[in-house]
Amino acid sequence: VEFSGNFWTQFFHNSLLFLDIFIFGQWIHTNADRIVSDFFKYEREELRFSVVKIIAAAAHANQKIEFEERKLLDFFLQSAGLPPEKKKEAIEIFERGIEVEVINLPTNNSWLLKKYFLEMAILTIWSDKKVEEKENKFLTRLCKYLDFKDEDLENSMIAIEGFVLEHWEELGYLQNKQDYNEVSERFIRRLTKLAESNKNRIIGEVRESKKLMELLRKAKVGELTEEEKSQIQKLMVTVLKTIPTFVIISLPQRYLTLPVLMKILPSNLFSESLDH
């Protein structure tokens, strides 16, 4: 089984950079009287250690640690820069497991930070390409502990699936056509439901785009060039990104080709947009 090291090293580097920016923001707003280096060092270590615990809890959700989950922890620890004694403790916690309720999570803190922890748990569970019933129950419990709703969990599941589909080529351990098709179909079903529930808003945004309306009118009476089809794809992704629900899940732009978009969008969306 391959597991693309460079990709995950870069991923966790960016992920940990987000935590650092969050900590600095906390210092500015609540602890400006403390020396920033002292505050930063303590909070940085605590948050990173909490991520390790989340990975451990998620990995044990189905009572067995998968190869991919172990590799995720390895790459995280390579990037985290924890002191040797903390790193040793982290590995011990991962091997024995930990209950969510004893992890120091930001239950009364930033929505964004809580979302980060939830999506790290989903990514860990998702790393072996399937989510079992026990793992679903674990995620539901984690959401409840973080004071999230079912909708928050659904949006985060979509976000992680979209992330994996967008970076499929970089994820060496996922090079399997059957797996790709299964993930892709599930992701399309989830997005289709979101698009249907936001249909009126999407139509409104489509009508606001002069260029998109011009291309849709042209498509109604004749064949579009490949360049024009590409323009429609880019403009439709731009339209979706103006709608909060789709912003939250961070749309995978490369994956959302025009044929995929046509599967996701309501079948009569373009005709209703032109009826205006």
pTM of the model: 0.78
pLDDT digits (tens, 9 = 90+) for 146-193: 999 999 999 999 988 888 888 777 666 555 555 778 888 889 999 999
Q: Is the pLDDT of residue 130 over 90?
A: no
Q: Is the pLDDT of residue 4 over 70?
A: no
**Separation of alpha carbons 159 and 112, rounded Å:** 14
Sign of the dihedral defined by the CA atoms of residues 7, 12, 15, 21, in that order: negative
Q: Is the pLDDT of residue 26 over 70?
A: no
**What are the sequence ranges of the domains in the chain?**
5-175, 195-274
Give the residue with greater pLDDT, 54 vs 79: 54
Instruction: Report yes or no: 82 and 90 within 8 Å, Cβ to Cβ.
Output: yes
Superfamily of domain 5-175: TerB-like (1.10.3680.10)
